[in-house]
Amino acid sequence: MTRKMDAPLRIAVLTNIVPRYRTPVFSKVASDPRFQLRFFVSISLDLSDPLAREVLDLRQSRTLNIRRGTQTYSGVVQKERVPLPLGLPFDLIGFRPGVIISGDMGVRSLVALLVARLLRVPLLIWTEETLGHDVMVGGLQKRLRRFLLARADGFLAWGKSAFNYLVERGVPEARITYCAQAVNNVEWATRAAAGDPEALLKKLGTRGRVCLAVGRLLPRKGFKEMLAAFGALPSHIKKAHSLVLVGDGSEKEHLAEQARELEIDNFFMVGPKSPEELAVYYRAADFMVLPSLTDVWGLVVNEAMACAPVISSIHAGVTEELVIDTGVGEPFDPNNQQNFTAVLERWFESPPAVEAGAPQQAVGRLRFDVSVSAICGMLQSYCQ
């Protein structure tokens, strides 16, 4: 496929939705006069970030979305959406892109590969996959992934864990573009500084050191394991310190009942919070815990590190990049209750020394401009 040398490179981006934390990256790329981006989303446009709908060229592609159950390695069953992109071939052929970027390693990318070969344009796969998360995948999907990994022209790897996953699966490093899993670090720090953490803790009625957890209350998030580990602490430690959980979801009542059974009276479930409110919780906490049983990343860790250190599950992609060997937290295995309880006990009673500003410095390396520069540089190679 050829294009006029003075015309911008047309880029089709295929994804379920455009979430808020991707909008700053893609809006910057889209503002580059060398490129023309069009996003083909498989789910209702209303579910994409409102700002993305304003500043990006979003089109809903006719898709049959099927929900199916997935059995994870930890025994947790979750539902995930499988898009069957019925209208995508026609959308792509009508747009005639010079590059296709597909946001999965499933059927959508298989269709994208076939169209890319028809149009004689490169296919890039955007992935957050990790080695730990990959164990959930069934045999058929593993074969499809091997097929795509061997044939895609390049990859956008969101995070070090995704980069390492691709390398481990045999993809040459030269075909991988690293992108930072980032939030607006300055925005979160500013929100936290504007709040009154002492007033918040007084209102809650916490005591001792405060451990904060944030997330959707789903089985795979590991909050049941977190309560079990907290409940196994020596009695004097369990009664001296507090556990605060921000979020909502299907496990809310189960967690409340579990806390009653374990006689944990200083566990505070406070429901979902706005970003402004949540930032004050991050600042009020002595440390945060991410107990996920499986998670390709865990952006709440980025948010929390604007204020506090984090202990983080080895099954979350963020742990490899922001926690291990950074001196601002500690990894643990939520499936190993003895290990989990020991880490909690240490951070409640004799926490490791964390230098002032160290969490902010660690997360400061992960910024939107890192991804913008990487993506623009990679796309520029297709403008020649």
DSSP-assigned states of every residue in 138-191: -HHHHHHHHHHHHH-SEEEEESHHHHHHHHHTT--GGGEEEE-----HHHHHHH
Kindly tell me if the per-residue pLDDT of 128 is higher than 80.
yes
Task: List, for residues 156-173, the tens digit of each pLDDT value.
Answer: 999 999 999 999 999 999
* Spatial contact of 136 and 73, defined as CB atoms under 8 Å apart: yes
Encoded tokens for 202? 């007084």
- Rg (alpha carbons) of the chain, rounded to whole number: 22
Residues 6+ apart with CB under 8 A from 79: 67, 68, 69, 70
> In the numeric block, which tokens belong to residue 148?
């795509």
Cβ proximity of 8 and 119 under 8 Å: no
Lookup: tokens for 264: 């944990």
Q: Give the per-residue pLDDT at 71.
A: 46
Instruction: Check residue 83 and give its pLDDT.
Output: 78
pLDDT surpasses 90 at 4 = no
How far apart are the C-alpha atoms of 154 and 345, rounded to whole Å? 45
Categorize the per-residue pLDDT at 65 as very low, low, confident or very high, splitting at 50, 70 and 90.
Answer: confident
- pTM for the model: 0.91
Amino acid at 335: N
The answer, yes or no, to whether residue 32 has pLDDT greater than 50, is yes
Residues 303-312 have pLDDT tens digits of 999 889 999 9
Q: Which fold has domain 185-363?
A: Rossmann fold (3.40.50)
For residue 68, the model assigns a pLDDT of 63
Domain 9-182+367-380 has CATH 3.40.50.2000: yes
Lowest-pLDDT range, 90-94, 130-134, 165-169, 296-300?
130-134
Top-confidence range, 69-83, 130-144, 205-219 = 205-219
List the domain boundaries for the chain: 9-182+367-380, 185-363
Mean pLDDT across 217-229: 97
Give the pLDDT confidence score for residue 191 in this predicted structure: 95
Evaluate whether 9-182+367-380 and 185-363 have a shared fold: yes
Biggest CA pair distance of the chain: 73
> Would you say the C-alpha torsion 111, 115, 120, 121 has a positive or negative sign?
negative
